[in-house]
Amino acid sequence: MAKEGSGSILQFAPLQSSVEEGFWHRLSSLKLNKFGIDDSPIPISGFYAPCSHPQVSNHLTLLAVSLPSDSNDESAMPPTIPSNRNRCSVPGILYNTNTMESFQAFDKQGLLKAEAMKIWEDIHSGKAVEDCAVLSRILLISFADLKKWNFHYWFAFPALALDPPATLVDLRPASQWFTLEEAESVTAACNEWRNSSATADVPFFLVSIGSDSRAAARHLKDLEACQHDGQKLLFAFYDPCHLPNNPGWPLRNFLALISARWNLKTVRFLCYRENRGFADLNLSLVGEALITVQPGWRERQCVPNAVGWELNKGRKVPRCINLAKSMDPTRLAISAADLNLKLMRWRALPSLNLDILFSLKCLLLGAGTLGCQVARMLMAWGVRKITLLDNGRVAMSNPLRQSLYTLDDCLNGGDFKATAAVRSLQRIFPAVEAEGVIMAIPMPGHPVSSQEEKTVLEDCKRLSDLIESHDVIFLLTDTRESRWLPTLLCANTNKITITAALGFDSFLVMRHGPGPLNSNPNLKAETETSLAAGVDNLALTNTDGRHRLGCYFCNDVVAPTDSTSNRTLDQQCTVTRPGLAPIASALAVELLVGILHHPNGMFAEAEIANSNSGGNFELPLGILPHQIRGSLPHFQQMTLVGHSSNTCTACCSTVVSEYRKRAMEFILQAINHPTYLEDLTGLTELMRSASTFQLDWDDEIEAADDECVEL
């Protein structure tokens, strides 16, 4: 088709976009973790290569690496990606909006004009000659609906419009334009250009052919050296288009450069295309165009009109892609679960430390009404590692109040709660790392026979190991005595410990203070390696003089004992108002999150409502109380402070020290002898003194009564 179409307007094949899924996943991550509501322009890079198939055009592609990195440094810097022969870099800009309305309200022509001005300025400044990659640009507008994983987007490839348009004089396959010797030399020169690491990704270049039919590929800045009498000169570019009758889109800005920079009227161009990585002159095109622009068009201040918005199936409308179906369900669940937490950091809670929550290991002692609710709340806060310990089975009465169980868990005698709860957590959130431990907690007041001692000691050792391997311990059992051994072990290892306990219409949620041997907030919570080192730290106060916060047993004047024997049915069951457990469970988890985000962690002083005692720190989550006591009849809750007691049967220095000296022998004695803990801590003597004081007080009252005179 040597002269077919001669004298007609030169028409260009538009670029086509292609976006890999990784780009959208990376954008989602940046939006949630870095940009938030900041909708400033984002620098991006796209990639294209010469056409390599006679029936398929190459697309301009965006990859995950097209976006900036996730690091907080250099956020406004464009991504730096090494190019190669199959990936020529194209600079661009992304405008990602916060709402669909903002996406639809974009001044698209204004944005396109602004990008065209950048190209025009690069042409006049000479930058486009030195770095010809800037002749092509990408403009992308988008809205990411991260709830539904819908991405609405629209590409533009800004192109400067010649006025009037260029006229096509000739366009034919390159093999028909060159002589046989020229064709061989041009092929060799182009292959050498493409195979050199220095020029493989340079998409615009010159091809000069001497009178001896020898061809050479040169940089644009070498134009003057190529303009000799008798030399043929072609302006070559990597053409992503496969069409036999149209050059590709990059030629538009190339012609604008040629006209504005060198004022050439007649331009011969080479649309370089390949086959299997080598120059293919049958697929490549050579054309000749006439450029006759109006006076003043080349002036720097007169920016030409711009075109370039991509059509969607022939229509001027944006595209939309939904990635929900293509994503792995577990990955989709993780993204959805983390969405609310990451959105908190946009405005309400920028200081939220998700890394701490994601890595936290929580041990829940009790998988009943409280345990089920606490596990759900922990997952909602992003906690992924949860262990539930319980030896009970799911009863028919449980599913209505205990949210992790269903009727199927009750059949055939009932499944163990620990394993049923883990199955339920994994159904709710497949990415949770949940473990169930079927075990009874040894308790004071529940004596064991000599035959049972070995099993009980094994349980004690197992419980100790579990507490040691977790970061946070929740005491959620339904008897007072079952909380004693965990409280002692937590005090010994200085673990964050949260207790939640229910009455019929009241509840208690509290955090335990640090252990008596580990009371220094500047020390790590580690068990001392020797008793001698630990005795020096025995104290009711922290090293800064503040009183230690108490544990669940610090206000008791009797040791824990059997509370389950000889009880009626209503006393054997945990009879509470149904709304109580969710309230207490939620407060327990919120209390934990407050501890994790306090500068002093578990060593933080107790704060109460309307108190300024701990106001040295700005705490976005609010105050950090010691105890929260709630009453449903009055719809009230109070924040209280209870300091540690030197006669506490679980956390005082006497008990912890005795445990460190005698270990399991001490625990067995506490289990088998109900009064042992009271004798050890001095409670027995205290009660005896209190009784004597009461008797003396009664005598004084009687004497006073004798002196009264009736009027």
Task: Tell me which residues are annotated as active site.
Answer: 573
Strand, helix or coil at 498? strand
Euclidean distance between CA atoms 436 and 420, whole angstroms: 8
CA distances to 2, 113, 249 from 170, rounded to whole Å, are 7, 31, 18
C-beta separation of 138 from 46 below 8 A: yes
DSSP assignment, residue 482?
Answer: G
C-beta neighbour count of 213 within 10 angstroms: 16
> Cα(116)–Cα(136) distance, rounded to whole angstroms?
10
CB 556 within 8 A of CB 677: no
Contact 401, 455 (CB under 8 A): no
Residue type, 18: S
CB atoms within 10 A of CB 2: 10
What the block records as the tokens of 485 is: 């051994």
Q: Which helix (H) or strand (E) holds 658?
A: helix 653-662
Contact, 237 vs 254, CB < 8 A?
Answer: yes
Q: How many CB atoms lie within 10 A of CB 116?
A: 25
Helix (H) or strand (E) holding 466: helix 453-469
* Residue from 455, 415, 413 nearest 436 by CA: 415
- What gap in Å lies between CA 75 and CA 68, rounded to an integer? 7
Other beta carbons within 10 Å of 272: 30
Distance CA 645, CA 659 (A): 17
Alpha carbon distance 692, 34 (integer Å): 68
CA distance 233 to 206: 7
Task: Pull the structure tokens for residue 563.
Answer: 């509370």
Nearest residue to 4 via CA among 246, 267, 264:
246
Amino acid letter for position 296:
G
CB contact burial 412-446 (16+ within 10 A = b; e otherwise): eebbbbbbbbbbbbeebbeebebbbbebebbbbbb
Residue 328's φ and ψ, nearest 5 degrees, are: -60, 130
Helix (H) or strand (E) holding 434: strand 433-437
